[in-house]
Amino acid sequence: MDISKYLPLESCTIDLAGKTKEEVIRSLAGLIAESPNAVGTDREDIERGLLERETMGSTGFGKGIAIPHCKVERMKDFVLALGVSTGGVAFDAMDNRSVHVFCAIVGPPEEPKMHLRLLAAASRVLGAGKSRYEMLSSSTSYALREAFLYHAAPATALDSSKDRTFNRLLIVVVQEEEIYSDIIELFLEMGLPGAITHEGSLMGQILSGAPVFAGFLDVLGSSKPEPRTILALVPGDTLDEIITSIEEITGDLDNHLGACIIVLSPDIVRGSLETL
């Protein structure tokens, strides 16, 4: 997925106009309308679609970011718009903080999977403190766009058009809730065709009912977060890219506790992990 083709320079600004949610939505709709992918679509329709989506729940996800998005008839393709509001805007965000960085996504109704991938990409990039700082510090629209694309690059290296001949079983075990959520978003963004998750228990939790081990439970980790296991069948020639992208989230796994990657070569694979 080449996300850059959905983000034209003319749809980026470091001086987003608007002091209210409605005014900002109007400005973002104007940026979307500037893209060639929006030719034939009225700005009013885009604005209306974004506002209607907000009635379902605010797209202000906290940490000073918001990702307004909607589907609009007659859109030729997807368009992203980036905007920075220096003063911040009250956007009914989950944490009640003002929003400073906006990424709007608008696309055709008939491509829900791509819509989800772009949402996952935007959420992952804007959710990272380093990328938000770089975007807020951008002195030009060009720099803003480049900062976003740079941090989106690791996960967008995989192309959904690649041959889907599965030959490796990727197992990811993580304890931290935030890392787990980020990896799930990463897999969605990559367009991996199927992944399943399983919640496990630490050894200390299993032994919690045995009085003889009572004094050692903290050592064994009974109070630690429960581990999550993610299983996915992936093409072997994409493993390096996938692992690199995961370590963008976790850091160097050789020096990170609470996360592990295991890769197996199954002898037989029949069927798919994709859901109906």
Q: Are 105 and 67 in contact (CB under 8 A)?
A: yes
> Does residue 174 share a domain with residue 131?
no
Q: Which domain holds residue 50?
A: 3-156
* Nearest C-alpha neighbor of 168 from the set 267, 75, 92: 267
For the segment 8-62, what is each residue's pLDDT rounded down to a tens digit?
Answer: 999 999 999 999 999 999 999 999 998 888 888 889 999 999 999 999 999 998 8
CA–CA gap between residue 50 and residue 55 (Å, rounded): 9
The CATH number of the domain where 20 resides is what? 3.40.930.10
> Does residue 114 share a domain with residue 49?
yes
> Does residue 74 share a domain with residue 26?
yes
> Does residue 248 share a domain with residue 144?
no
Q: Are 62 and 100 in contact (CB under 8 A)?
A: no
> Does residue 228 share a domain with residue 187?
yes
Please identify which of the residues 69, 100, 115, 151 carries the catalytic annotation.
Answer: 69
> Does residue 127 share a domain with residue 50?
yes
Contacts of residue 36, Cβ cutoff 8 Å, sequence gap at least 6: 8, 76
Q: Residue 273: inside a domain, yes or no? A: no
Q: For residue 215, what pLDDT is reported?
A: 53
Q: Are 73 and 40 in contact (CB under 8 A)?
A: no
> Does residue 68 share a domain with residue 25?
yes
Q: For residue 212, what pLDDT is reported?
A: 54
> Does residue 111 share a domain with residue 15?
yes
Cβ-count burial 161-199 (b if 16+ within 10 Å, e if not): eeebebebbbebbbbbeebbbbbbbbbbbbbbbbbeeee
Task: Indicate the residue among 124, 156, 188 that finishes a domain.
Answer: 156
Structure pTM? Answer: 0.68
> Does residue 232 share a domain with residue 176?
yes
Q: Residue 239: inside a domain, yes or no? A: yes
Q: Residue 249: inside a domain, yes or no? A: yes
115 is known as an active-site residue: no
| Bridge-based pairing state of the strands 12-13 and 79-89 | parallel
Q: Residue 67: inside a domain, yes or no? A: yes
The CATH number of the domain where 213 resides is what? 3.30.70.120
> Does residue 126 share a domain with residue 173?
no
Q: Residue 210: inside a domain, yes or no? A: yes
Contacts of residue 64, Cβ cutoff 8 Å, sequence gap at least 6: 88, 93, 97, 98, 99, 100, 101, 132
Q: Residue 125: inside a domain, yes or no? A: yes
For the segment 216-267, what is each residue's pLDDT rounded down to a tens digit?
Answer: 555 444 456 678 898 888 888 888 888 888 888 888 888 877 889 999 988 7
Task: Indicate the residue among 156, 184, 216 that finishes a domain.
Answer: 156
Number of domains, the chain: 2
